[in-house]
Chain A
Amino acid sequence: MSSEEILLWIRKQFENTTELTQKTLDYDNKYALLFYVKSLIDQELLQKLIIKPFFEMANENQFKAYLIALPQFQKAESKEQAVLEVTNGHTLIVIQHDLYLIDLQLATNNQVSTTSVETTIHGSNIALSENLMTNINLIRSYYHQASLSIEYFTKGEVNQQKIAIIYDKEHVNKKALEIIKQKLQQLDQQVISASTELNNYLNDKRFSLFPQMLMTERPDRIVYNIAGGKIALILDGNAQSLIAPAVFFDFMTTMEDNYHTLFISLFVRILRYAGLFVSILLPGLYVGITSFAPEVFRTELALTVAGSRIGVPFSSFVEVLFMLFFMELLLEASIRLPKVVSATATTVGGLILGTAVTEAALASNIMVIIVSAVAISTFVIPVNELAFTIRIVRLILLLITSVFGLAGLTLGLYGLIMYLVYLDSFGEPYLRLFNYQKAKKSSEGQA
């Protein structure tokens, strides 16, 4: 195919848009044709790197050599690739029969942000940016190993988004890597707009309660996990990355655990697991104890609960469901609302509603305490994905308890553990109990 044909083809691809800019440089027997999307490229750079040297060069050959020497130079393998790269912010230069691609992308989303989801007091406060290259730059600058490998996939039939798979070639869990690559290849989606979407797309199970991949915005967490043989996936234009394979206990750790002294981190961990159990079990326990086995309470507490339920028109499980429902509404509302309004929402919902409900004897005082305790302990769970799951799990346990009492709650919890044992994340048992730190040395390559 001659260059004339190629030019025609390229023009045809952009026929119906006004986006493509075509510029002809013609001076002193030198002749070059430039194609670029104006909104994607850095025009100053174009002027400095291409246009100005063009006029200063003695002849075409020197200009060609100059272009090849540029660090932004990329070889054009085919005309399809050339067109794709032009939409990515490259500038295509045609000189005689040769195609040259120069990366002059102007990225406005390459600002490193501060952590907003996984905040810590100790340690770094840098979060991923929305730009893939910046993110890779961040990770590479935290992980100095030649074995750090990055593979790119372009997925999403319509929006052609770039996905990077990052892993350490020497430590990586090869089985998981293979599964992930295979699933990515099979991935058939029109639009992929967020990395967390991949969590669903890479999961075979239709009904899945627990997250299979760990979502994080912290580069230190990514580096920590890559060193442990895990695989990180980052989608371009997204400040969240996914880490796989993930086990249940990954969702219960924060990076800060490694930064504290032993006893402090032990204390914080115990606190967190206590919070997990409280948020799962407390609503069920309330129904189970008050309605099935009041002997479990201390006498004083039994009397207080009985007294505070005087005049409450609902059965205990309706009361719990009712209050949990409003708590969930409040949670959802405060996430969706603009920051300015959300404070008002929590005040109205939490304080006014809580007081009014007990005043009107729609729920007992103890119930309000329980609902707030449940809400607070849910916030202790460090990874948001798990917190969402827990909100559903406790409803299931509450329903089982309402029908079968404390024995049902016990069996329900047992069933939950059975389910967790049955799950796996990319070939890795989900409820793997042994210590990751310890296992790292002995089972390198096993994750």
Chain B
Amino acid sequence: MLKKRNKIKQFFLLIILILSVLSGCGEFKDIDKDVFVSMIGIDLSDDPEKPYKVTLKLYVPTSSFKQSPKPEYTYLTQNGKTLTEAIRILETHSDKEVDFGHSKLIVIGEELLNANKSKEIMDFLLRRPDIQMISWLAIGRPSAEEIVKLVPQSETAAYPALFNYFDHNGTDSPYIVTTYLFDFRRKMLESGIDPILPLIEINKEEEHFEVNKSIVLDHDKKPHELSSLDTLIFNMLTRNLDVTDLVIDEDNQHFIAKIDNINSTYKVKVDAQQQIKLNIDIELFGYISESKNTMSNQQLPQYSEMVEAETKEKFSDFFTKMLNAGYDPIGFGVAYKSNTLHNKRMSPSEWDEAYKNSKVNIKVMAGIKSTGSIQ
């Protein structure tokens, strides 16, 4: 009996011992004493002494969204020599603890992108523990501050409209690239793949966002902007798109093909002369959604051929641009590395040279299943 009771005592002592070693997650702080950051904007300031300008968008909590469905935010802006300094000063501007745990989007101003300070920014974003690695990263044009401060008409409380562009729950347009912070970092460090970031612009007249372009980055190269069409092609190659439109405009035909099934595969082959061959296979299936002329079911194979030719042309253009600029957002270099033993591989610099001269074989197979009209 006594022994047993001692055992229980030992058990509880052990538990208390283990518990006292725990620090918990931070210290006790009531949720109403926190203020949540929704977006972080980082810009290049005018002051060369303090080059960073940090803008924080803060949620204003309400007890009931039913009673106040309008979004409410406050903003904090501060210049600083480093990002940490700017944020430390910002914390003195707020009466509550600034919590980055709910910040979902980090917008980097376009000017800052050209100032070649990506290393410092990344360092800050990755080291701070309360910035989530699953945040989205985007470029703001003209500046991050303007993007962060714009609240469009359609916005509802507690969920900024801008998030809907990237979370694949709202719009699922094929023109939008989504990049997570962790993914960006990986691609930044990895040789053989270049990170790509969405570009957010503002439509001045109607006060809403436009996200349909993207920017490819590399360590010491000038950022390369992808047009909307190039962004679409990038997405067709990397993402499993559900739906896209292709415009065909040839001598006497003008129609739009709605593609609802896209399969794309690519292979990297290197021959003995270190000549890189990129084999791209694309399969497109869909129907015609809009046309200026009357379409006939008998002519479907011809239409398919036209789609093939058009697609091939567009893809060739895309790859020509990429190869000339030496950018590789799709990750052919990674594909090559994963298929080749390490002692037989080219060095990264050799690969970069060879990549610029690689041959691209594009094979398109299109299947237009219907003219879209009932006859």
B-contacting residues of A (Cβ < 8 Å)? 204-207, 290-295, 299-300, 302-310, 312, 315-316, 365, 400, 402-408, 411, 415, 418-419, 422
Contact = CB atoms under 8 A, between A and B. Distances in A.
B124 interface: no
B94 interface: no
B104 interface: yes
Q: How large is the interface on B (under 10, 10 to 19, 20 to 34, 35 or more residues)?
A: 35 or more
B11 interface: yes
B130 interface: yes
Contacts of B34: 294, 306
B15 interface: yes
Contacts of A316: 30-31
A312 B32 CA distance: 9
Interface string B1-37: 1001100100100010011001111111111101010
B158 A299 contact: yes
Given A310-B61, A406-B24, A303 B36 contact: yes
Interface of B is mostly: loop
B59 interface: yes
Nearest to B19: A404
A309 B25 contact: no
Contacts of B63: 304, 307-308, 310, 365
B31 A295 contact: no
A9 B34 CA distance: 85
B124 to A, nearest CB: 19
B159 interface: yes
B65 interface: yes
Interface in B174-229: none
A290 B31 contact: yes
B269 interface: no
Interface string B42-86: 000000000000000001011111000000000000000000000
A299 B37 CA distance: 10
A401 to B, nearest CB: 9
B31 A299 contact: no
B36 A299 contact: yes
A402 B15 CA distance: 16
A411 B24 contact: no
A404 B11 CA distance: 19
B29 A291 contact: yes
Given A204-B1, A295-B102, A310-B61, A290 B19 contact: no
A309 B132 contact: no
A310 B102 CA distance: 19
B28 A291 contact: yes
B99 interface: yes
A141 B240 CA distance: 67
Contacts of A404: 19, 22, 24
B99 A303 contact: no
Contact of B132 (A291, A295, A302, A306): A295
A143 B295 CA distance: 82
Contacts of A365: 63
Nearest to B101: A295
30 contacts: A204-B4, A205-B4, A290-B30, A292-B24, A295-B99, A299-B36, A300-B65, A302-B36, A302-B102, A303-B36, A304-B62, A306-B34, A307-B32, A307-B63, A307-B64, A309-B32, A310-B32, A310-B63, A315-B30, A316-B31, A365-B63, A404-B24, A405-B22, A405-B24, A405-B26, A405-B28, A406-B25, A407-B24, A408-B19, A422-B11
A138 to B, nearest CB: 38
Nearest to B18: A411
A70 B132 CA distance: 87
**Residue of A299, A405, A418 contacting most chain B CB atoms (<10 Å):** A299
Contacts of A403: 19, 24
B33 to A, nearest CB: 9
A318 to B, nearest CB: 10
Contacts of B25: 292-293, 405-407
B21 to A, nearest CB: 10
Contacts of A205: 4
B36 A400 contact: no
Contacts of B64: 304, 307-308
Contact of B99 (A291, A294, A315): A294
A415 B15 contact: yes
Nearest to A358: B63
Given A291-B31, A309-B31, A407-B22, A303 B101 contact: no
Nearest to A300: B158
Contacts of B8: 207
A290 B25 CA distance: 12
Contact of A306 (B15, B32, B65): B32
